[in-house]
Amino acid sequence: MGLELTGGIPPLLPFGLAGAGLRRRERPLFCIALTVAMVAAATTVRWLMGAGPAPFVVFYPAIIAASLLGGRPTGYLAVALSGLASAYLFLPPDNSFAVDRTGAEALALHAIVSLLAVEIVAQIGTRADLLEARTADLTRREAQASASLSEVEALYDNAPIGLGFLDREMRFLRINRTLAEMNGPSRDDHIGRSVWDILPNLRDQAEPALRRVLDHGETLTDIQLSGETPARPGEQRHWIEMFYPVRGTDGAVEGVGICCRDVTDIRQALDREHLLMREVDHRAKNLLTVVQSVLHLSRSAETVDDYRAAVTGRIQALGRVHTILADNRWDGVPLAELVAQELAPYGHGVDIDSDGAGVVLPPSPAQAISMILHELATNSAKHGALSGGGRVALQCQAGERIVLRWEEHGGPKVEPPTRNGFGTSLIQTAVKRLLSGTLDYRLEPDGLVCDISFPLPKPVAKPVP
């Protein structure tokens, strides 16, 4: 950074050890005029003094003042003017520049002394200029350092990770807002207190690492800590820490710096991801088991087309319930929504009376109910009430057990079956194996009546955040 002078010339104080060059550059005519005036004043004083042994003494203050005013140029001008005035007015012969030998020697001595004075003042002025410039530069640097320090302090105090500094006794000397909020007490309440007074539950985990830093000057990274803090009592939190030595000017370790990042949310996300992967694996296996059962129960179809239609319809029913499960993040399926979706194609012929609006079925029971309703509706559309102008009444009651009643009336004449079809077999298997329930499936004179009862499923277990 270059050195430069700052400020201007005070109008009432044109003299000074520093700033002569600046004054001369900014106000040259003023400097020349004032120099001439000072020499003229000295000449007048000398003329009033009359003859004396020291004809040049009164000119030295004017020469020095001129040097302070504009540096060497105005100083030299004052020396020249004072010499000319002395030669013409005060050295014999009077009123003539032709001086004798004695006068010439006196003028030479005056010139030497005056020039030395000008040079001394100029050198002092140069040093003063340098000193002033350095002072201004130091002031600038100090301001910049102060601004940088303020910026660093602001960054330290507002960093999104916890930062702190402990002395050798493991007392807090400094702490930022983030770390204070992690711990609980305010920043002021941390200062001077032992870290174990504030976080006693973490002492067994953290103290050995802090001792290594203090005793051996090591920098330790990826230190994993878990525990409770006063900020969130009763809640297990997780952190990744870095401990590093803070050294004095002699190189000795004076304390420990702390960088702390709360990774509780990340750990919980990883736990949820692992749980989800296990759940997906479990559900995929269950789905394959269900599909295998569908294929097995559909083998009794009389023709390939019947087999194809049966398998396709049942898998489509599974697909619909899986869509609802996915929309609900696999937390379960509302029973009312499942019933409405599965029977939507037959809405004109189905009367639904349900008090199970608040019942949410886990994935496995939801799949079973979806297939059961699909079989009942498909069978009714082919052979029952929904095939010939009849109607279906579906009642749902929810308590400790869920009771579903499917009752058909007004359809074609009912003929007793000669054997159980594959739809009936699938319903029996789904009720008994997947729902752990009971089934009453009978053909009344007016149509099919199917009563299904099964225990209210437990809510879906969710990972603890």
Contact status, residue 381 vs residue 422, Cβ threshold 8 Å: no
Residues 229, 225: Cα–Cα separation, whole Å? 12
Predicted pLDDT of residue 465: 41
* CATH label, 162-262, candidates 3.40.50.300, 3.30.450.20, 3.30.830.10, 3.40.50.2020: 3.30.450.20
Helix H or strand E encompassing 238: strand 237-247
* pLDDT tens-digit readout, 344-382: 888 778 888 877 667 888 888 888 888 888 889 888 888
Concatenate the DSSP letters of all residues of 301-327 into one string: -SSHHHHHHHHHHHHHHHHHHHHHHHH
Tell me what percent of the residues of the chain surpass a pLDDT of 70: 82
Tell me the pLDDT band of 53, cut-offs 50, 70 and 90: low
Domain boundaries defined on the chain: 20-153, 162-262, 268-455
Predicted pLDDT of residue 205: 94
Mean pLDDT of 190-212: 94
Report which of residues 17 and 437 the model is more confident about. 437
Predicted pLDDT of residue 291: 64
CATH superfamily of 268-455: Histidine kinase-like ATPase, C-terminal domain (3.30.565.10)
Predicted pLDDT of residue 463: 44
Predicted pLDDT of residue 364: 81
The amino acid sitting at 293 is: S
Mean pLDDT of the chain: 83
Q: Of 6-10, 102-106, 127-131, 231-235, where does mean pLDDT reach its minimum?
A: 6-10
Output the CA–CA distances (angstroms, integers) from residue 77 to 20, 90, 113, in the order listed.
14, 19, 14
Predicted pLDDT of residue 422: 64
Tell me the pLDDT band of 11, cut-offs 50, 70 and 90: very low
CB atoms inside a 10 Å sphere around CB 26: 12
The amino acid sitting at 250 is: D
Reading the block at residue 12, the tokens are 């009432």
Reading the block at residue 447, the tokens are 């149509």
CB atoms inside a 10 Å sphere around CB 55: 18
* pLDDT of residue 241 exceeding 90: yes
Mean pLDDT of 8-33: 75
* pLDDT of residue 138 exceeding 60: yes
* pLDDT of residue 2 exceeding 60: no
Residues 167, 193: Cα–Cα separation, whole Å? 10
- In 3D space, the residue among 35, 73, 59 whose CA is nearest the CA of residue 107 turns out to be 59
Mean pLDDT of 109-125: 91
Q: Is the pTM of this model over 0.75?
A: no
What are the DSSP E strand ranges found in 31-113? none
* pLDDT tens-digit readout, 141-179: 998 888 888 888 888 888 899 999 999 999 999 999 999
Q: Of 227-231, 250-254, 329-333, 451-455, where does mean pLDDT reach its minimum?
A: 329-333
Tell me what percent of the residues of the chain surpass a pLDDT of 90: 36
